[in-house]
Structure 1
Amino acid sequence: MLLTGCMRAIWKGSIAFGLVNVPVKLYSATEDHDIGLHQVHNKDGGRIRYQRKCEICSEVVAYEDIDKAYEEEGRTVVLTSAELKSLPEENSREIEVVEFIPAEQLDPIMYERSYFLEPDSKSPKAYMLLRQTLEDTDRIAIVQYALRQKTRLGALRVRGDVLLLQALLWGDEVREAKFPSLETDIKISDKELEMSSALVESMAHDFDPDEYTDDYQAQLKTLIEAKLEKGEALDTEATFGVVEGEGEGGDVIDLMEALKRSLDKKRGKEKADDDAAAASKTASKPKARAKKKA
């Protein structure tokens, strides 16, 4: 995936590597390839929307009027956006290197989302120094940072020519698995183990992710294309609606869609008015008389 020019950095800060400061930009390293689907009413195809409705006043609440809250033992503590932003860690723009560990010591179950780091300075020498050091020592840097109102634990490692930051779960977020069915004394014979190992060897290959495809998404795309070819599709405009009571000042269900529709409608009207004015002007203009030949 080519990042430069086609993706926007979601965070800017720096890696604190001892006394070395490495300015970086952060990009999402992965993306979802699933075909986007939305819900509709099976009776008329109308879009299904979910409203942010207050349970006390029953009003639909705008995002800017929503705060967060914590509930415990029958009491609720409301936390405003300003209060959350005032927390020191929320405002931190530093990826602090805490320690360096051997790569094999990090259990894959702890990995969450991955991010690419791009050097954010005129001279990327500090970035290249850290990347080369991690590669030569075959180590992973354990880091702490703040992103989207959370203090996070992460692993900094090399992937190709770039530094990759992988968000990690905290230790207490990983569950222990204890199943009674595995606590019984089960005997496995040498012959069973030999045959099982032979099967593994017969299926052993080097992993290449490009060899695998998402069959469900491919079949879903084929299904959609077939329905389009048969004309089994609705006019998208006809599936949009507004919330109950819009005529009395209610909010449009989807603001962005409503603005787009309004803009398209306005542009269409302006073009029609311009065409009508031009036609009227042409019709009222007197015809020029032909000059007589001398």
Structure 2
Amino acid sequence: MISYNPKVWIAYIFRFQKSDTLRELLPYMILIGLYSGAIAYLEIECFKLEESSNVKNLTVIHTSLGFVISLLLAYRINSAYDRWWEGRKLWGSLVNNSRNLAMKLSVMLKDEKDLAYFRRLIPSYASMLNKHLKDEETSMQLFDHVDLDLDHHKHRPNQIAKMLYQKINDLYVSHKITGDQLIILNGEIQSFTDICGSCERIKNTPIPYSYSTFIKKFIFIFVLTLPYAYVFTLGYYIIPFACLIFYVLASIELISEEIEEPFGYDDNDLPTTKISTNIKKHIEEIL
């Protein structure tokens, strides 16, 4: 995740990060500029269309569709941000639940060996979940056309959770904790698996294919038809105008694609590795 001061916004206008959309869209913007210039040349120099030409009335279509595309993109980026923010809340819950489990165990248990076991295992769950969510195979488990040779008995976060359950049960059998304490600790460990399942839901359930592709097609059709109508009012200035419109619309789509899957390695993804490290530090302090 990029660290920055949101109050110093002027400096970021002239700063380009690796994830900046301009880097990725620049080749397309050049092509759209050449395309717009060609359309302008044909209409102005070759066909010499008059101001009364019906082609000029195409602006009515863009005015109407502009409202539609703004609604689509607004919903697109909001839904993507909701997925990013839900992922952040889940990992925040994992931090809190790890602390709560450690604090309860530190009070209930007196044996240093038992404390050392949980001191090592509780942070391991966050670390394994981080690696599990960054695994590309995790994001493809729901796709019918992908045949993954996976051993589902080696789901790493589940293995850690099972070890925690086993240890808690052993403590109860050996009368180191009471039945009431067992129920309390069981709820804390169960929350780990709930968080894992929610993160997997975000990871392996992308935005519906038809919706994503429709927006991309809509943006290209909208931008590619701009020169036909606006050449009459802008002339050759349609070239930077069309490039700017494409940059704005396509950037929203690219940003949405990046943040809708928050568990990867992109600059704007969640710092799950750092969160895992902090969990380890906090658990070692408590236990």
Category of TM-score, reference length = shorter chain:
under 0.3
For the pair shown, which has the larger CA radius of gyration, 1 or 2? 1
TM-score by length of 1: 0.21
Q: Whose helix fraction is larger, Structure 1's or Structure 2's?
A: 2
Q: Whose strand fraction is larger, Structure 1's or Structure 2's?
A: 1
TM-score by length of 2: 0.21
